[in-house]
Amino acid sequence: MNRIFGKVLYKGRIVEAGIEFEETILKVGKNVKGNKVKGLILPAAIDVHVHFRDFNESHKETIETGSLSAIHGGVCLVVDQPNCKPVVDSLEIYEKRMRKAEKKIYCDYSLNLALTNSNCGKIAEILEKLRKKYTVPAVGEVFLEHTNPDLQIGYETLRNVLETNKIRLTIHAEDPKLVEAGTPNFKYRPEEAEVSAVNSCLMLSRTELLHFCHISTTTALELLKNSSSTCEVTPHHLLLSIKDYSRLKEFINVNPPLREKPLLEHLNDFDVIASDHAPHTPEEKKDGLPGFPGVETMYPIIVSLIKDGIIGIGAVERLTSIPAKIFGFDRLRYGEIEVGKFANFAVFDFSKETRINSRNLHSMCGWTPYEGFKAIFPNEVWLRGERVIPEEARLGRVL
């Protein structure tokens, strides 16, 4: 039995309270006495969009290094995307990846199933079998535009899958008709590509099953605000823009690309903040590959912005309780500091603000687009009742 005491985010407000817990939280209240914790006790984050590579891309990230990076950033649960090499599009590959994760993982882990042109007729059957053993939060990130033709999904296929399955689909919304190849890619992947794709998807049926990944334009956001779908924003679309080209140079490519203006002032219109942690080596970035690492820096940057009063504490629910509800992790005890939920905490000491330095991060890719940015990294992280930072116990499990 553990007891900690301090400033806690509880029922949407910061209160002085104690928390009594084992694997799950037993009591929360001002009369619960415990070891005084220095810092703000927040629920650990759920990052519903990471690419932990591994398999044939273990030169740039593995499930082990990605999850180590996650836990150091206060993230207790990730949803890995299936566009690995090989693509996670079958029962066998899904099981292989989960078995690999089980061996060495520092945070809790779940995995989306890919939708490809080859597996679209069998998706219900694959899901039914997988769900006997695993959670499978969603099908996705579904690519409407992709260099691999098997991963480039047409609207008709999407419509069929939506009409015949009851599973959440997470969509990478860029219309292939409006996208060209080239670098820097913000010149070749216009805003209209995203707007057109979101528009077309919202004309399909059962749009309450759609979750839109990394929305980057205010026009698409307006469409989504009036829909039954949910959407997410990345830290890079919140904070960076094409003005960062002079700083990031050939490292600037990310899909969807950075836009003219960052989206921070629109934060409250998004349901979820997710990193789209997409590591590539510096050599690969110089060759134009799109993607930014971000799982470790996401929560620390957000907390620093909260400390400075630039955004409100409401940002935290976009990293915790809201993604938990959308993807069903709330029923599995994730997402908030509340009796009955897992004791997953990240403690942030506001006096420990630092500047991000890629040498201190744990991703294998070795660089960050946030070099020099202000951040407050968690000084303690608790995963299902065990303190894993600073101790670094190996405790993660697969869902």
Give residues in contact with Zn ion (CB under 5 A). Answer: 141, 276
Partner whose binding site includes residue 120, from Zn ion, ligand DOR, none (CB under 5 to 8 Å by kind): none
Instruction: Examine residue 275 and tell whether it contacts ligand DOR (CB under 6 A).
Output: no
172 binds ligand DOR (CB under 6 A): yes
Is 119 exposed, middle or buried, given 0-12, 13-18 or 19+ CB atoms closer than 10 A?
Answer: middle
Tokens matching residue 77 = 């649960």
| Integer Cα distance of 150 and 86 in angstroms | 12
User: What pairing do the DSSP bridges indicate for beta strands 13-21 and 25-29?
Assistant: antiparallel
| 255 interacts with, out of Zn ion, ligand DOR, none, CB within 5 to 8 A per kind | ligand DOR
Which of 62, 65, 69, 83 is close enough to bind ligand DOR by CB under 6 A?
83
* 170 makes contact with ligand DOR (CB under 6 A): no
Tell me which residue has tokens 């553990």. 2
Is 71 within 8 Å of 381 (Cβ atoms)? yes
Give the active site residue among 47, 89, 175, 276: 276
Bridge partners (DSSP) listed for residue 78: 47, 109
Beta bridge partners of 42: 346
Rounded to whole angstroms, how far apart are CA atoms 145 and 177? 9
Cβ distance to Zn ion smaller for residue 136 or 278? 278
47: β partners: 78
Nearer to Zn ion, 276 or 330 (CB): 276
Partner that binds at residue 254, options Zn ion, ligand DOR, none, CB closer than 5 to 8 Å by kind: ligand DOR
316 binds ligand DOR (CB under 6 A): no
Q: What single-letter amino acid sits at 32?
A: V
Q: Does 255 bind ligand DOR (CB under 6 A)?
A: yes
- Residue 259 interacts with ligand DOR (CB under 6 A): yes or no: no
Q: Annotated catalytic, 276?
A: yes
**Taking CB under 6 A as the rule, which mask of x and - marks residues 22-61 in contact with ligand DOR?**
-----------------------------x----------
User: Of 291, 293, 294, 300, which one interacts with ligand DOR (CB under 6 A)?
Assistant: 291
Q: Which strands form 139-143's sheet, in the order they lie side by side?
A: 139-143, 169-172, 210-212, 230-233, 272-273
Residues with catalytic annotation?
276
